[in-house]
Amino acid sequence: MFYAIVLSPFLVGLTLWGLDRFLKTRFKRTRIKNFAFVTILFLIVASCLISIFPYQPLVPRASIISKDLPENEYLIDFRAANTIYQKEMIIFAERYAPGNLNELKISSDEVTRQQIFGFTNSSFSSTHIWYTPFSPNMTLEWDLCLLHKSDKAGPFSEKPEYRTDEIVNRLLSKGNIVYDNGESFILEK
């Protein structure tokens, strides 16, 4: 195909010549034929300028760190956050919060932690544990754990080696799911 591109100017010339002959048989007036020719040529050139490229971040895959990591996850995820899932989960957690807020321990992933500080009052956000359940070599005690499983609920901030699907599913099996909107979860111990 690369070498055939050399012939493209000649083929375009033949195509335009054929288009001109076709328009001469359809329109008897020269002015209308020229207007139709220019319009068709403009539409062809304008449609050639439109390019649609899929989103492809220039970030390496997680599998370059280790062969044990999944190939379909990036080292850093730059996709846009859709926080409506997170906001509804956080509002539910604030209403649901069992017992005394002073004794409550809340854990979450890094993105959700920042959103808790932004969406809730200080008495609820002050009960949040600083470390996430995805921190390496950490065993956390928590009463509520808020996390998002899918990238539709926002970007992931943890390193891919700490947040694989296996680790998320293991975390989900550790507690009772009290809230699930398909993208975000609240677990209770």
What does the pLDDT look like over 102-158, one tens digit per residue?
Answer: 778 888 887 778 778 777 888 888 888 877 777 777 677 888 888 877 665 555 666
Contact 60, 54 (CB under 8 A): no
Phi, psi of 36 (to 5 degrees): -65, -40
Check residue 82 and give its pLDDT.
Answer: 46
- The reported pLDDT for the residue numbered 39 is 94
pLDDT in tens, 46-83: 887 876 665 555 566 777 777 777 777 766 554 444 46
26 three-class SS: helix
DSSP, collapsed to helix, strand or coil, labels residue 51 as coil
- Give the pLDDT score at 75: 63
**What is the average pLDDT value for the chain, to the nearest integer?**
78
pLDDT for the residue 14: 92
Which pLDDT does position 80 carry in this prediction?
Answer: 45
The token pair at 108 is 């979450």
Taking the C-alpha atoms of residue 38 and residue 23, their distance in angstroms, rounded to an integer, is 11
Q: 179 near 96, Cβ under 8 Å?
A: yes
Share of the chain above pLDDT 70, in %: 80
